[in-house]
Structure 1
Amino acid sequence: MTEQQIEEAAQRLGIALTGSELTHLAGYVNLLSHWNRAYNLTAAKTSTAIIERHVVDSLTVRAYLPAGQLLDVGSGAGLPGIPLAIVEPQRSVTLVDSNGKKARFLRQCKLSLGLVNVAVMQTRMEQLAPACCDIVTARAVAPLGQLLTLLVPLLRPGGSLLALKGARAVAEVAALPEEWRRAVAVHDLPSLEEEGCAKLVIYRRSAEE
């Protein structure tokens, strides 16, 4: 039933998934539902809510991913990193979270789902090495100005920061210094929630830095 729910929700957003992807995504949803009872990893308490609010929302980012190694900071319950790792098995994905119980959950997902392209790091984002990745993703981690301050140094020249935001994204962009405003683009993401509430803010670091 979970696979069918995922497939139907994804189709409503124009996302096609293979049988293997559906199996792995369903396994992830079941793991998250089970762990959530004890560890409160997400406010979504049912499989349907996890699928519609988190899993398929994470998959909408795939269309905007450039090539390269992906670092998912403040990964928490593994969003968007685990769904993206499932549908991009050839891409190296590192999930970063400083919280011990969340890092344990992420390691269990890697083991149970056989995600050989995934690594898990329990650390604070401030402690990551500069210029360590090509892409950074962040979902509901911090205000945009704070994210850019902390995460842009992690990007290699030409790298991209993809921040999943809600309706406040436009106001957060407007509050940025002009040099950052010129370097960001805001995209509407399809969502099963209220139309126009899901935004993707992309910052690209200059290749000449």
Structure 2
Amino acid sequence: MSHPHAAALARGITALGLTLPEGAEAQLLAYLDLIARWNQVYNLTAVRDPAQMLTQHLLDCLAVVQPLRQQATALGHADDLRLLDVGSGAGLPGVVLAIANPGWSVTCVDTVAKKATFIRQVGAELGLRQLQAVHQRVETMSGAPYAMITSRAFASLVDFITLTRGRLAPGGCWAAMKAHLTEDERQAVPTDVSMFHVERLTVPGLDAERCIVWLRPAD
């Protein structure tokens, strides 16, 4: 029996011009089902309708896959990127990135315990061995740094940079997913950080502004 949202997901992936590994679409649909099921008890996301979750969460995150792949290649880590997703919530975009890029090591960090627990459950059920979830404040994390740090509607750019600076590897970059970038936010970016690109995104089925703000420590 086919999944009720399989066709819509396939259309969205085609519209994005995205190539995914074998089995990824089934994993994404299983992830959608897990969010919907857990959401009834744990309030992981304000979006309740699975069809809206597909567009506003899955396709919204899938829209960043190709840009992040291109930047990973530029960093010399096309197939072995270490990525930290901050304020990951229900695993967006971290889980989607782990499904789309099985060679990447993806760590999701969130201050809410139930959300980290959910991401661990997703990783276990979908066999995402390279996915980790950490219940912690990002500024207190230790261990090896990350070549790329992502966030999705997490905080202002200046807070994102300040909280995660200690986790960024030399030569690495930040990718902030945002609805839009205000001039005030742009002006508040520290002078020792370079905003080297603001990449506009089009999300299939979503009539709303989206972008990735790319940043790195200034030379």
8 Å CA contact retained: 2:139, 2:166 = no
Write the mapping of 1:12-161 to structure 2, written as runs, cut at 5 A.
12-17=15-20, 19-65=22-68, 66=72, 67=77, 68-129=81-142, 132-161=145-174
Calculate percent identity across the aligned residue pairs.
35
**Aligned equivalents of 1:127 and 1:170: distance in 2?**
30
CA–CA distance in 1 between the matches of 2:61 and 2:159?
21
Answering whether residue 168 of structure 2 is matched by residue 168 of structure 1, we say: no
Q: What's the C-alpha RMSD, in Å, of the aligned pairs?
A: 1.9
Unaligned segments of structure 2, at least 5 residues: none
The residue number in structure 2 matching 1:4 is: 7
**Is contact 2:192–2:217 with CA below 8 Å preserved after alignment?**
no
Cα distance in 1, alignment partners of residues 169 and 190 from structure 2:
21
What displacement does 1:37 show?
1.1
Shift of 1:78: 0.2
- SS at the partner of 1:137? strand
Q: Distance in 1 between matches of 2:183 and 2:44?
A: 28
Whether contact under 8 Å (1:151, 1:161) holds in the other structure is: no
- What displacement does 1:26 show? 0.4
1:190 aligns with 2:193: no
Task: Report the AA paired with residue 200 of structure 1.
Answer: I
Question: Contact 2:110–2:134 at 8 Å: present in 1 too?
Answer: yes
| TM-score, normalization by structure 1 | 0.90
- TM-score, with length taken from structure 2: 0.86
Kept in 1, the 8 Å contact 2:150–2:174? The answer is: yes
User: Equivalent residue of 1:184, what SS?
Assistant: strand
**SS in structure 2 at match of 1:44:** coil
In structure 2, distance between residues paired with 1:94 and 1:150: 16
Q: Which runs of 5+ in 1 are unaligned?
A: none
Distance apart, 1:147 and its partner CA? 0.7
